[in-house]
Amino acid sequence: MGKLKLYDISIPRETIAEERESVYLNRSAEQRFFSLLHLNYISIAMNGGQPLKIPLGKGIIIRRPNS
């Protein structure tokens, strides 16, 4: 599971973005994949058990729920 990191508001956003990018790029492909799956799990849990986007018929077209 990930960690929550709180940043000081005096730190420029560019510095924070560079730090996050370097952490991401230092991960293995497997770690990136599992962190993505974990993010999907969290988004579903925070949306009342419903995914943020759902498939439309066949193919890869997705849409947001109407509710």
In a domain? residue 48: yes
pTM for the whole structure: 0.55
**Distances 47 to 6, 36, 50, 51, 53 between C-alpha atoms, Å:** 23, 17, 6, 7, 11
- Mean pLDDT over the full length of the chain: 83
The reply to whether 6 falls in a domain is no
Mean pLDDT value of segment 2-16: 87
Question: What average pLDDT does this structure show over 37-63?
Answer: 79
Tell whether 55 is covered by a domain. yes
Q: What percent of the chain has pLDDT over 90?
A: 34
Residue-level pLDDT at 52: 80
Q: How many helices (H) and strands (E) does the chain have?
A: 2, 2
Rounded Cα gap, residues 67 and 56, in angstroms: 16
End-to-end CA, the chain: 30
Residue span of the structural domain in which 40 resides: 13-63
Q: Are 62 and 54 in contact (CB under 8 A)?
A: yes
For residue 27, being part of any structural domain is answered with yes
Query: Domain total for the chain?
Result: 1
Q: Is residue 5 part of a domain?
A: no
Residue 8 lies in a domain: no
